[in-house]
């Protein structure tokens, strides 16, 4: 158990740091190459902050653990719209002298509606697990969603806010930062998957719940870091756009990766039941809360979202984790990137 905890904690830390550097490096590289801030914000930063979810869920699905992959998607979406948005709103309202999260109508009607639609499509398709054709549908929906989001005449943020720098950019240095960040993100995801599923086996919880809670919290750290920075600078549209964009990436692109790489049924029925209902409910509630006042205007709204996150966690636990058959995902030691017991290339098997 101790070794599994070390793997999970260490993996999540490396994951968060690596993803943060990936976002910064890729954003600066894109700007130096003449790519517009809106493309950087919607695609580069959106992809970068969702890279942890994609790698963790993809690795889990490739290993046959669809529960961990889906749990990570659902839990990350819940964390983004409750923990990340709520904490960022409190930072803006309390720590930055009463600054409120004001959101433009275009952001709520474009990114907000697209994010809601993505969550609903994910909810419909995940009911019986994933098949490969559903992955193709999700991938096509992602392309449509990105086209809609990018189809706008105005920028959502200043160049300095998007690339986090107003100094001359060294492309070789940022390329090294980007590659190192991607490598760290991949390595951290590998460790997190190993630790998470081993903990699930030892504690007796399904790997889906571990994905919904511990792993989802860790993979949402890049969004939390980006959100707090945006709240401190008063860039509400960048903050909310990043959160909504990240949820769109998770619901469509990350779930498409899970379906294409490792399709299969869900062992934990809670993932396609109450947990995904909670995700959709929080998505709708957060959108309505922002739409009512064109943002989060009061400190208690941020506190309310934080409370929703904490209250929802116990309901994400499977009703009977022990029903998982012996040998099902989450009930045995995990083998990551392994082909067979005798394959020495890429074999990583751990049991704490």
Domains of the chain: 2-157+170-335 (1.20.1420.30)
- Measured CA angle at 8 (ends 48, 21), to 5 deg: 25
- Measured CA to CA, the distance from residue 62 to residue 164 in angstroms comes to 35
Give 343's pLDDT tier (boundaries 50, 70, 90). very low
pLDDT at 282 over 80: yes
101 or 71: which carries more pLDDT confidence? 71
- pLDDT score recorded for residue 225: 73
Tens-place pLDDT, residues 172-205: 888 888 888 878 877 887 787 777 777 777 776 6
pLDDT, mean of residues 147-153: 72
Tokens for 135?
Answer: 């992955």
For 129, which DSSP code?
B
Nearest residue to 101 via CA among 203, 220, 242, 251: 242
Residues 269-287, mean pLDDT to the nearest whole number = 88
pLDDT digits (tens, 9 = 90+) for 5-20: 888 788 878 877 887 7
- pLDDT band for 24, please (50, 70, 90 cuts): confident
Buried residues in 27-41 as b, exposed as e (16+ CB within 10 A) = bbbbbeeeeebbbbb
Token pair belonging to 130: 């994933």
Q: How far apart are CA 12 and CA 94, in angstroms?
A: 28
Q: What is the mean pLDDT of the chain?
A: 75
**Average pLDDT, stretch 23-30?**
75
């Amino acid at each position: 158990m101790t070794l599994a905890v070390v793997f999970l904690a260490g993996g999540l830390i490396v994951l968060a740091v690596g993803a943060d550097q990936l976002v910064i490096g890729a954003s600066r590289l894109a700007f130096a190459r003449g790519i517009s801030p809106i493309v950087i914000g919607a695609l580069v930063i959106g992809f970068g902050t969702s890279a942890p979810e994609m790698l963790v869920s993809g690795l889990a699905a490739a290993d046959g653990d669809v529960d961990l992959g889906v749990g990570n998607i659902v839990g990350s979406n819940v964390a983004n719209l409750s923990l990340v948005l709520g904490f960022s709103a409190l930072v803006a309202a309390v720590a930055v002298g009463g600054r409120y999260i004001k959101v433009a109508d275009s952001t709520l009607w474009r990114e907000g509606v697209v994010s809601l639609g993505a969550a609903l499509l994910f909810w419909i398709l995940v009911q019986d697990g994933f098949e490969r054709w559903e992955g193709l549908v999700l991938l096509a929906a992602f392309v449509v969603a990105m086209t809609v989001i990018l189809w706008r005449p105005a920028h959502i943020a200043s160049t300095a806010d998007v690339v986090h720098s107003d100094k001359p950019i060294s492309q070789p240095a940022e390329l090294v930062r980007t590659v190192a960040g991607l490598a760290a993100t991949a390595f951290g995801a590998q460790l997190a998957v190993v630790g998470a599923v081993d903990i699930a086996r030892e504690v007796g919880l399904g790997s889906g719940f571990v994905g919904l809670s511990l792993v989802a919290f860790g993979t949402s750290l890049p969004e939390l870091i980006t959100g707090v920075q945006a709240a401190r600078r008063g860039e509400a549209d960048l903050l909310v756009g990043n959160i909504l964009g990240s949820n769109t990436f998770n619901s469509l692109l990350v779930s498409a990766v899970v379906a294409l790489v490792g399709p299969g049924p869900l062992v934990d029925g809670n993932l396609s039941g109450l947990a995904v209902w909670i995700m959709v409910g929080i998505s709708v509630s957060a959108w309505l809360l922002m739409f009512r006042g064109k943002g989060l205007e009061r400190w208690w709204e941020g506190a309310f979202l934080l409370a929703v996150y904490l209250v929802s966690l116990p309901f994400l636990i499977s009703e009977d984790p022990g029903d998982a058959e012996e040998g099902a995902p989450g009930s045995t030691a995990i083998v990551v990137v392994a082909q067979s017991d005798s394959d020495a290339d890429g074999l990583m098997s751990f049991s704490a």
